[in-house]
């Protein structure tokens, strides 16, 4: 499971050798350029996150784009295209990226939000952090959140 740190804009999961950090934002902060490092291998990608409302509840929906390569990541950090052993390797890395974005946003506080506050469109459904394990206790789920 991801936890905060080691830096302010980072989360990590030592057991799975995962580290997530944001590199920069562009288009007035609408697009985030991030890096997921898995087993020492950097994987750049970009994502967007929009506020949505359903039955009076506010949540944020993210979409990952440019997975495995980002021109902006190459410019700001000289990070090239990620190499994957095969399609299964790429799929697993993408699932880790989905989990990382859900755990991170907004600005490193995703772990402090209720399940469903962040959702990510992937593989024909909306994923929440709860889909990736026991991140939330009953008290966490009942609690409020504000951005």
At a CB cut-off of 8 Å and minimum separation 6, what does 141 contact? 114, 115
- DSSP helix/strand/coil, 10: strand
Q: Classify the C-alpha dihedral 145-112-73-70 as positive or negative.
A: negative
pLDDT digits (tens, 9 = 90+) for 82-109: 999 999 999 999 999 999 999 999 888 8
Domain boundaries, the chain: 3-142
> pTM of the full predicted structure?
0.87
Task: Read off the pLDDT of residues 33-89 as tens digits, 9 standing for 90 and up.
Answer: 999 999 999 999 999 999 988 888 888 999 999 999 999 999 999 999 999 999 999
Give the count of beta carbons closer than 10 Å to the beta carbon of residue 60: 19
């Amino acid at each position: 499971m991801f936890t905060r740190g080691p830096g302010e804009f980072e989360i990590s999961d030592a057991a799975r050798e995962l580290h997530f950090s944001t590199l920069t934002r562009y288009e007035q902060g609408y697009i985030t350029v991030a890096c997921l490092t898995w087993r020492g291998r950097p994987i750049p990608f970009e994502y967007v996150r929009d506020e949505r409302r359903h039955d009076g509840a506010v949540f944020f929906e993210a979409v990952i784009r440019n997975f495995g390569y980002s021109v902006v990541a190459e410019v700001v950090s000289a990070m090239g295209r990620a190499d994957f052993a095969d399609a299964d390797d790429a799929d697993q890395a993408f699932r880790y990226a989905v989990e990382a974005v859900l755990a991170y946003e907004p600005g490193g506080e995703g772990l402090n939000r209720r399940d469903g506050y962040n959702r990510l469109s992937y593989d024909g459904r909306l994923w929440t952090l709860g889909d990736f394990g026991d991140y939330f206790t009953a008290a966490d789920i009942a609690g409020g959140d504000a951005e």
